[in-house]
Amino acid sequence: MKNQIDEKRDNNAVDKKIKRRSFIAYLTFLTVGLSAFEGWKWLYHAPSETPGVTGRARKPLRAALNKTESFFKQFFSPDHLVKTYPKSWAAKNVRVNSDIGMTDKNFNPENWSLSVLRSDTDVLKISLKELRELPKTEIVFDFKCVEGWDQIQHWGGVKFADFITHFRLEAHTGMAYVGMKTPDGKYFVGLDMESAMHPQTILAYEMNGQPLIPQHGEPLRLIIPVKYGIKNLKRIGTISFSNQRPADYWAMRGYDYYSGL
């Protein structure tokens, strides 16, 4: 008799415990689940950032992109080189993905010269001939597009670091950014100085050993293997230096500003 009463009391205690633990567990599950869902809705419908040097990304996501960038920048080293390939591996049919900034029908490469803004009032003009007289650097590497395709390509031109030394622009490399623009100003990129000065960054005037053709940025384009294709500006018109981020075409359209590889 006494045993049976004990058992009943035990059973009640277990029942109570089951109820209490289940209640707490399910309440937590539902509360956290609902808050997570609300959090997601907030993020998904978060307003766009104020348009500026970057644009069109949700405000919190832009902040996250910038934070992530500063984290991964720590791993950047000029000694980390992009893998190179033999020339015979390079694509003969080099992919063309964009002509933004190159639609001006009156553009004549014969009259072109590169403008380097040493200051707002001091513009250095450089002809293609002058650039061709500098030591040539060639690179065969896997060009990577932000869209996801990649292609082994062969480019030749002046190493950006050599260009800086030759035209005595060293003082400007103390600044944080380099900006580049097409002559019509319709395509433009901003680059952090470390990436621009990376030993594999070149101002290219040749593709597959031949002078650049119009759709690949004749007469001079940027090849920067430590960045996605979107930063590899075709038909360079002006180069400038600054401590603020220069405007960047695709960063203004929701892409990461750094876009480093």
Partner 1 sequence: MKIIKEKHSLVMRWTHWINFPILGIMIWSGLLIYWANHSYSISIFGFTLFRFFPDSFFTFLHIPYRLAEGMAFHFLFMWFFALNGFFYVLYTLISGEWRQLIPQKNSFTEAWQVILHDLHIRRSLPAQNKYNAAQRIAYTAIILMGFGSLFTGLAIYKPVQFYWICWLCGGYHFARILHFALTIGYVFFFLIHVVQVILAGWRNFSSVISGFEVIETSQKVHGEAGNNSDDPA
**Could you tell me which stretch among 65-73, 172-180, 208-216, 234-242 binds partner 1 (CB under 8 A)?**
65-73
* Element spanning 259, H or E: none
- In whole angstroms, how close is the CB of 36 to partner 1 at the nearest point? 6
Query: Does residue 64 interact with partner 1 by CB under 8 A?
Result: yes
Nearest Cα to Cα of residue 53 among 173, 196, 188: 188
**Could you tell me which stretch among 119-127, 132-140, 145-153, 205-213 binds partner 1 (CB under 8 A)?**
145-153
Query: Does residue 34 interact with partner 1 by CB under 8 A?
Result: no
Query: Does residue 261 interact with partner 1 by CB under 8 A?
Result: yes
When the beta carbons of 169 and 247 are compared against partner 1, the nearer one is: 247
Give the C-alpha separation, 14 to 17, whole Å: 5
Query: Does residue 106 interact with partner 1 by CB under 8 A?
Result: no
- In whole angstroms, how close is the CB of 24 to partner 1 at the nearest point? 8
Q: Is 136 helix (H, G, I), strand (E, B) or coil?
A: coil
Q: Measure Cα distances from 6 to 11, 17, 34 in Å.
A: 9, 17, 42
Instruction: Look at the block and give the residue holding tokens 């097409």.
Output: 182
State the binding string over 71-90 for partner 1 (x if CB under 8 A, else -): -x--xxx--xxxx-------
Q: Which of 160, 163, 249, 255 binds partner 1 (CB under 8 A)?
A: 255
Q: Which of 18, 34, 175, 213 binds partner 1 (CB under 8 A)?
A: 18
Burial 233-245 (b: 16+ CB within 10 A, else e): bbbbbbbbbeeeb
How many residues bind partner 1 (CB under 8 A)? The answer is 49
- In whole angstroms, how close is the CB of 106 to partner 1 at the nearest point? 32
When the beta carbons of 40 and 42 are compared against partner 1, the nearer one is: 40
Q: Helices marked H in the chain — which ranges?
A: 2-44, 59-73, 128-132, 160-166, 193-196
What tokens appear for 166 in the block? Answer: 């030759």
Give the C-alpha separation, 259 to 101, whole Å: 20
When the beta carbons of 204 and 251 are compared against partner 1, the nearer one is: 251
Nearest Cα to Cα of residue 229 among 180, 192, 170, 189: 189
Q: Are 209 and 154 in contact (CB under 8 A)?
A: yes
Q: Which of 31, 68, 98, 165 binds partner 1 (CB under 8 A)?
A: 68
- In whole angstroms, how close is the CB of 155 to partner 1 at the nearest point? 16
Query: Does residue 249 interact with partner 1 by CB under 8 A?
Result: no
In a 10 Å sphere around its CB, with 0-12 CB exposed, 13-18 middle and 19+ buried, how is residue 11 labelled?
A: exposed
Residue numbers at the binding site for partner 1 (CB under 8 A) = 7, 10-11, 14-15, 17-18, 21-22, 25-26, 29, 32-33, 36, 40, 56-58, 61-62, 64-65, 68, 72, 75-77, 80-83, 142, 144-150, 225-226, 250, 253-256, 260-261
